[in-house]
């Protein structure tokens, strides 16, 4: 997967709109001509629910085994009966595929936690367990020809997220302009550096040279501020207060660099976008089961909604540009 961007969207503070961000960016990259793979590695499986109908979810999550989800792909490891299974990629559109999430994936937390220290002993089974997500995504990428992989993970610092994040080439951090996001940056920075350091020490002990393992690049690509219902041109005073502190926190906590000289998010090269919540469009999009920027009058997007849909498309198009530039993704198809 060296020629392709694997971008994880990560914040240990929940409720900031992370999954909606991944969902809309996946559709936008597809709209712009990329071959996209979206991977739902969050045991809550909200990204999967956004993409698929309830009828299809019932088929993918029957009683008994779930062979066509991420849980099915790692099930042989979970049972101790073998290596990863060939992953199923759910076709959303030609060129847009989904690694289906599964609420049962939480059962993989303990094996991942148990095998992390065993990698230091050079145990092959431990390396195969810890690298399972990376290898599932690798196989799915080869099968689909994806050039961009967008990974949704849960809001925590547990073993499932560690295994997902070490397989990412880049990390985008969705933030809200509040105290909780600032605290999240304080937690994330040291944690990411620790994970990178620990995985590097384990890679030296890999007993199987031809086993595909992640290099744990985990490069911070920047942050996206999701402002909810606040107008971008006139943020309320409370939000403005927290937004003013984000650039210095990101630079010091995530990049481990001096924070001097950062004046505002609008001047900060690490800020990829300030996105509105589009509160009036979200219910319509959920009912229509499509991205907000694809809403039509038949979906109820009338009057002022027409302009909001157009603005939403442009916001996500610009964000797709910024993320592609920050991650080194192929940008030829993004040129105006």
- Give the pLDDT confidence of 264-316 residue by residue, as tens digits: 888 899 999 999 878 789 999 999 999 999 999 999 999 888 999 999 999 99
pLDDT at 334: 46
Cα first-last separation, the chain = 27
pLDDT at 262: 66
Number of domains forming the structure of the chain: 1
Ranges assigned E (strand) in 100-199: 148-152, 170-175
- Residue 99 in any domain: the answer is yes
- Residue 261 in any domain: the answer is yes
pLDDT one-digit tens code per residue, 152-181: 999 999 999 999 999 999 999 999 888 888
pLDDT one-digit tens code per residue, 53-79: 999 999 999 999 999 999 999 999 999
- Residue 277 in any domain: the answer is yes
183-222 b/e with 16+ CB inside 10 Å = b? ebbeebbebbeebbebbeebeeebeeeeeebbebebebbb
Cut 0.75: pTM above it: yes
- Residue 336 in any domain: the answer is no
- Residue 334 in any domain: the answer is no
CATH number of the domain to which 279 belongs: 3.40.50.300
- Residue 183 in any domain: the answer is yes
Which residue range(s) make up the domain with 182? Answer: 5-328
- Residue 335 in any domain: the answer is no
Q: Which phi and psi angles does 57 have, rounded to 5°?
A: -65, -40
């Amino acid at each position: 997967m060296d020629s392709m961007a694997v971008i994880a969207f990560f914040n240990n503070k929940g409720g900031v709109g992370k999954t909606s961000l991944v969902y809309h960016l996946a559709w936008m990259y597809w709209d712009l001509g990329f071959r996209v793979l979206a991977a739902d590695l969050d045991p809550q499986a909200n990204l999967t629910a956004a993409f698929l109908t309830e009828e299809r979810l019932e088929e993918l999550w029957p009683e008994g085994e779930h062979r066509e989800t991420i849980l099915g792909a790692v099930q042989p490891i979970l049972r101790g009966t073998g290596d990863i299974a060939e992953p199923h990629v759910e076709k959303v559109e030609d060129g847009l595929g989904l690694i289906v999430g599964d609420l049962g994936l939480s059962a993989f937390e303990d094996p991942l936690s148990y095998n992390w220290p065993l990698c230091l002993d050079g145990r092959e089974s431990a390396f195969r367990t810890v690298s399972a997500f990376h290898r599932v995504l690798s196989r799915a990428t080869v099968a689909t020809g994806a050039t961009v992989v967008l990974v949704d993970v849960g809001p925590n610092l547990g073993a499932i997220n560690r295994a997902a994040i070490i397989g990412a080439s880049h990390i985008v951090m969705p933030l809200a302009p509040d105290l909780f996001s600032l605290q999240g940056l304080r937690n994330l920075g040291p944690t990411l550096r620790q994970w990178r350091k620990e995985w590097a020490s384990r890679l030296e002990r890999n007993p199987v040279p031809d086993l595909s393992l992640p290099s744990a690049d985990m490069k911070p690509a920047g942050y996206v501020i999701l402002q909810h219902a606040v107008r971008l041109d006139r943020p309320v005073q409370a939000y403005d207060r927290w937004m003013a502190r984000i650039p210095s926190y990101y630079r010091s906590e995530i990049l481990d660099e001096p924070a001097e000289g950062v004046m505002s998010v609008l001047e900060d090269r690490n800020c990829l976008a300030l996105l509105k919540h589009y509160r009036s469009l979200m219910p319509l999009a959920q009912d229509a089961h499509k991205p907000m920027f694809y809403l039509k009058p038949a979906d109820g997007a009338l009057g002022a909604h027409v302009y909001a849909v157009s603005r939403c498309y442009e916001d996500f198009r610009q964000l797709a540009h910024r993320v592609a530039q920050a991650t080194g993704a192929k940008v030829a198809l993004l040129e105006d």
